[in-house]
Chains A and B, each alone.
Chain A
Amino acid sequence: MTSYMTNLAFYVPELIVVGAMILLLFIYAFSGGSSKKLNTILSTVAAFILVFVGYLQFGFLQAPIQEIFSRSVVIDQFGTILKMVMVVGTLGVIYMAMVSQEIVEDLKFEFIILVLGVLVGAMLLVSATSMITIYVGLETISIISYALSALKKNDDLSAEAGLKYVLYGGFASGVMLFGMSHIYGVLGTLFVYDFPAQLASLTFDNMLVLVPAFLMFFVGLGYKISAVPFHMWTPDVYEGSPVPVTTFFAIVPKVAALGALYRLSTVLIGQETILATTWITLIGIVGALTMTVGNIAAIGQRSVKRMLAYSSISHAGFIILATLVVDQIGSRSLVFYAIVYLFMTLVAFMITGAVSDKYGNDYFDRFRGLILRYPLMAISMVIIMLSLAGIPPLAGFVAKFNILAAIIKEGYYTLAVIAGLNSVISLYYYMKIVRLMVLKEAESTEDIANFSISVQSVVIFLTIPVVFLGIFWETILAFANGAQIFIK
């Protein structure tokens, strides 16, 4: 048993992020009122701290797997890589918020502090191994997310989005807790990695309580992943929130909850119990439904942001399938998909955000003729859309291929067919926006202020990995291969 201070050494990145929140709050409090200059300083400080935190994670990639804080938290490579993804996502989102006109200057510092808070919760959730840490991590994400979605204080849509998020979120976490309490009662432990030992010696009566309890547990995680049927809040919250907040919701909480779900799956799958069978069936059905419902609902959308919200639901469904494969190939495909999804989501939302800032809405028609006015942006958007649809040789294809290969290896052929069909459906609505951008004439010739040189270069910088990872995917796959998950 290592001492408490030694444990803290493994928790330095999270502590730095917490410290950054406090530091930024103090800088703001003692500078008197917000200004553009102050916001620039705050965002630069936050960016440097996040880069440092991301850099620290590289150190943990080499270190041996470590259980800390009385076994409540585990530092393993799987969690570390997902933390990197979330840190980069937060960094991108902070940049988006800085250039966004939707979030007014007064609110930008609040936004930065709040996203750092969510990041702490998300980092706790991916490395949580006890039900207490899972609950605290999930609620840290949730509670701060409520405030984030209601960020535009005087906007009725934003207030409504926050309200819906609170109501659905509180309900889901309550149900999850009720499930957790019965799991604790039947298995007699809070620690996820102690479950298998306890599961072995259970009677049928115990299972009668335990199976519904685990279903309830899944509600809480599924709600954060926005898995069908707990996705009802997603389109509303995504539409009502400012674009940078939507981007953030589509990346950080989702990746964190998927990490936690995967950790839970590694514990439950692999034994010959009713519970394992139920869990596999549940994840298979939920994954298939999430992909299908997300894709079909995305077809009829008028707003690009709402379309991207539904498309992020269907991508989450794809990643859920990866949680069925509990060996190295599964964790590798999940991590790879998360990395690719991060870049694709950031670029797609960045371009949408710039367009919607200009016109006040983000309907499909606003993208008409973008290729003549901003060729680089239009080409990036086309690349991202093709990648999201999974067209080779882009990164989205390799990511989907990895997950398909993993689930086919385990023999889930039906799921693989459903996933393949879904990629075809998704092509339809992704191509709709490509067609408008490339083949139609522009509505107006006014400049879009938000496509400044810096934004364009960031978009291109983030698009390059999507092309690069599609062709030279071995490098990043080797990196993802190191995503070893702690198994007791």
Chain B
Amino acid sequence: MMNLAAYLFISLVLFLCGIIVIIARKNIVAILIGMELILNAAALNFVAYSRYVTHHIDGHIFPLFIIVVAAAEAVVGLAIVIRFFQIKETIHIDDATQLQS
């Protein structure tokens, strides 16, 4: 029998995995995948909370928004990555250093 804590633990692990991927991986596509992990962690949290704590439909609606927005974000993100690849012929994050902060 799963309980709330188990879901929260899984989502926390997903979230941390996402952050580690974003920080550690140098491949831009991998970084985009890391972002998806974070978004899914949040969506999982919403559903788990609404199932075990709030018993309210709001928590089910929000993940739907997250899924739609994440898809839109991935579309634009990948389009920019493809453009970057066509110009630089690499998808290594360390090659994006022309603009120095």
Rounded to whole angstroms, the CA-CA distance of A135 and B70 in the bound complex is 11
Interface SS of chain B: helix, strand, loop or mixed? helix
Question: Does A177 interact with chain B (Cβ within 8 Å)?
Answer: yes
One of A233-241, A246-254, A435-443 contacting the partner: A233-241
Do the beta carbons of B39 and A174 come within 8 Å of each other?
yes
> Bound state CA distance, A164 and B84, in angstroms?
11
Closest A residue to B8 by CB, please name it: A185
Cα distance A75–B8 in the bound complex, in angstroms: 36
Q: Please report the C-alpha to C-alpha distance between residue A147 and residue B72 in the assembled complex, in whole angstroms.
A: 12
Majority SS at the chain A contact face: helix
Mark each residue of chain A from 163 to 174: 1 if its CB lies under 8 Å from any CB of chain B, else 0.
110110011011
Flag whether A131 is at the interface (Cβ < 8 A): yes
B54 in contact with A157 (CB, 8 Å): no
Q: How extensive is the interface on chain B, given as a class?
A: 35 or more
Whether a CB of chain A sits under 8 angstroms from the CB of B1 is no
Residues of B within 8 A of A171 (CB): 22, 35, 38
**List of A residues within 8 angstroms of B45 by Cβ:** 178, 181-182, 184-185
B99 touches A159 (CB 8 A): no
Tell me if A188 and B56 are in contact (CB < 8 A): yes
Q: Is A143 in contact with B73, judged by CB distance below 8 angstroms? A: yes
Q: Judging by beta carbons under 8 Å apart, are B65 and A184 in contact?
A: no
Which bracket fits the contact residues of A? 35 or more
Contacts A139-B69, A156-B98, A159-B87; A146 near B62 (Cβ below 8 A): no
Cα A334 to Cα B99 with chains together (Å): 32
Chain A residues engaging chain B, CB cutoff 8 angstroms: 131-132, 135-136, 139, 142-143, 146-147, 150, 153-154, 156-157, 159-164, 166-167, 170-171, 173-175, 177-178, 180-182, 184-185, 188-190, 232, 235-236, 239-240
28 pairs of residues in contact across A and B, judged by CB atoms under 8 Å: A132-B61, A132-B62, A132-B65, A135-B65, A135-B66, A139-B69, A142-B73, A143-B73, A143-B76, A146-B77, A150-B83, A153-B83, A156-B88, A159-B84, A162-B83, A166-B77, A167-B93, A170-B32, A171-B35, A178-B41, A178-B42, A181-B45, A184-B45, A184-B50, A184-B58, A185-B45, A185-B53, A190-B62
Interface residues of B (CB under 8 A from A): 11, 15, 18, 22, 28, 31-32, 35, 38-39, 41-43, 45-46, 48-50, 53-54, 56, 58-59, 61-62, 65-66, 69, 72-73, 76-77, 79-81, 83-84, 87-88, 93, 96, 98-101
